[in-house]
C-alpha cells in the first residue's frame, strides 16, 4: 500500500531536478501526478521516463492563462486535486548594484506570482484536508552575496505559507514549505556553469554545508512526500529545511 494511493497531485516544475524526483516518488506511492514545465521536450522526456501514472501539461506558471488551461484539464480528467507541490522556480545571481528591472521581474514573476496563482487557482479543485507544499530555499533565510532578489522571492514564499495556513484553516488544508540547501540538479548546474569556475563554485557550496556535500533531488523528494502525506497530519505552517545543515549552524 502506497502513502498516496488514489490521490491526485500536481507538481509544478516537475520535468527536472527536485520536481521530477518528487513526481516519481508520488507515482511510486500510488498517486496520479500532473507535472508542468515550459519546455515541451523536457515535459515529454519526463512523462516517458516515469511511464504510467503521470500526465504532462506544458505551461509557464507566470502565465495565468496557462494556469487556467492546466486546472481546466485537471478538472475535466480527474475532478479534484488532493496535493499541490508548487515547486517551479529558478535562480539567477545578480550583485545588488547590478540588479535590473528585467532580472527582478523574471525572479518575482516565476518564483512568487507564479507560485501564488498556482495555489490560488488550484483551491477550487482541492477537497478539505488537502496538502500544499511550497518550495522555498535555505537562501531565503541567509544573506548570501549576489542573491538579493532570489532570496527575497524565497522569503516571500515562506511568508505565504504562514498566511495561507490561517486562510485555509476552515478547509483543513495544510500548507508547508520545504527549503532545500544546494541540490545537484540541472538548475544548479546551469546557475553555476559547467566551466572549471563553475565546478569550483559547486565545491565551494559543498564546503559550506555541514554534511559536506550537495544534496540529491531524491532527498528533497522524501521530505516533500512527508509533508504531502498523512505522515505529517499535525504539521502545518512550518518550514522544513533539507539543507545538509547549511542554514542551521
Ligand atoms: N537545486 C538547488 O540547489 C535548489 C536549492 C533550493 C531551492 N531550489 C528550488 O527548487 C525548485 C526546483 O529547482 P531545481 O534545482 O530542481 O531546478 P531545475 O532542475 O532547473 O528544475 C526546475 C523545474 O521548474 C520548471 N520551471 C522553471 N520555471 C518555470 C515556470 N516559470 N513555469 C513552469 N515551470 C517552470 C523547469 O522547467 P522549464 O524550464 O522547462 O519550465 C523545471 O521543470 C526551484 O523553486 C528552486 O528555486 C533549488
Alpha carbon distance 239, 156 (integer Å): 13
Res. 233: pLDDT tops 90:
yes
Res. 191: pLDDT tops 90:
yes
Supply the residues annotated as catalytic: 150
Alpha carbon distance 106, 98 (integer Å): 14
Percent of the chain with pLDDT over 70: 100
Alpha carbon distance 113, 107 (integer Å): 9
Predicted confidence at residue 159, as pLDDT, reads: 99
Length of the chain: 249
Q: What is the mean pLDDT of residues 65-73?
A: 99
Give 91-140 pLDDT, tens digit per residue. 999 999 999 999 999 999 999 999 999 999 999 999 999 999 999 999 99
Tell me how crowded residue 67 is: count the other CB atoms within 10 A of its CB.
Answer: 22
Of residues 165, 155, 182, 153, the one with CA closest to residue 62: 153
Q: What is the mean pLDDT of residues 214-233?
A: 98
Measured in Å, residue 90 CA sits from the centre of ligand 1 at 5
Q: What is the mean pLDDT of residues 136-155?
A: 97
Predicted confidence at residue 196, as pLDDT, reads: 86
Long-range CB pairs of 144-152 (<8 Å, 24+ gap) are 145/95, 146/93, 146/94, 146/95, 146/96, 147/91, 147/93, 148/94, 148/95, 148/96, 148/99, 149/92, 149/94, 149/99, 149/103, 149/104, 149/107, 149/108, 150/91, 150/92, 150/93, 150/107, 150/111
Question: Residue 66: pLDDT band by 50, 70, 90 thresholds?
Answer: very high
Measured in Å, residue 121 CA sits from the centre of ligand 1 at 20
Cβ pair 157, 135 in contact under 8 A: yes
Residues with CB under 6 A from ligand 1: 12-19, 36-39, 42, 60-62, 87-91, 110, 114, 135, 137, 180, 182-183, 185-188
* Pocket probe mutation, ligand 1, options 10, 13, 106, 140, max atoms within 8 Å of Cβ: 13
> Does the model's pTM come out above 0.95?
yes
Mean predicted lDDT score pLDDT of the chain: 97
Question: Residue 199: pLDDT band by 50, 70, 90 thresholds?
Answer: confident
Predicted confidence at residue 194, as pLDDT, reads: 81
Amino acid at each position: 500500500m502506497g502513502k498516496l494511493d488514489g490521490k491526485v497531485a500536481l507538481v509544478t516544475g516537475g520535468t527536472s531536478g527536485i520536481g521530477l524526483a518528487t513526481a516519481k516518488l508520488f507515482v511510486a506511492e500510488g498517486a496520479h501526478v500532473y507535472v508542468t514545465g515550459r519546455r515541451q521536450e523536457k515535459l515529454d522526456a519526463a512523462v516517458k521516463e516515469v511511464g504510467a501514472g503521470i500526465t504532462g501539461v506544458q505551461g509557464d506558471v507566470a502565465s495565468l492563462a496557462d494556469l487556467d488551461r492546466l486546472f481546466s484539464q485537471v478538472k475535466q480528467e480527474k475532478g479534484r486535486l488532493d496535493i499541490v507541490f508548487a515547486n517551479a522556480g529558478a535562480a539567477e545571481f545578480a550583485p545588488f548594484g547590478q540588479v535590473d528591472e528585467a532580472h527582478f521581474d523574471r525572479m518575482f514573476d516565476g518564483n512568487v506570482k507564479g507560485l501564488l496563482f498556482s495555489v490560488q487557482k488550484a483551491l477550487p479543485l482541492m477537497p478539505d484536508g488537502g496538502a500544499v507544499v511550497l518550495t522555498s530555499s535555505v537562501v531565503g533565510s541567509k544573506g548570501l552575496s549576489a542573491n538579493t532578489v532570489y532570496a527575497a522571492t524565497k522569503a516571500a514564499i515562506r511568508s505565504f505559507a504562514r498566511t495561507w495556513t490561517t486562510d485555509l484553516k476552515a478547509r483543513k488544508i495544510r500548507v508547508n514549505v520545504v527549503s532545500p540547501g544546494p541540490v545537484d540538479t540541472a538548475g544548479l548546474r546551469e546557475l553555476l556553469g559547467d566551466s572549471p569556475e563553475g565546478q569550483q563554485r559547486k565545491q565551494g557550496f559543498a564546503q559550506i554545508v555541514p554534511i559536506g556535500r550537495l544534496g540529491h533531488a531524491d532527498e528533497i523528494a522524501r521530505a516533500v512526500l512527508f509533508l504531502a502525506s498523512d505522515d505529517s497530519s499535525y504539521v502545518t505552517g512550518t518550514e522544513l529545511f533539507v539543507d545538509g545543515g547549511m542554514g542551521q549552524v
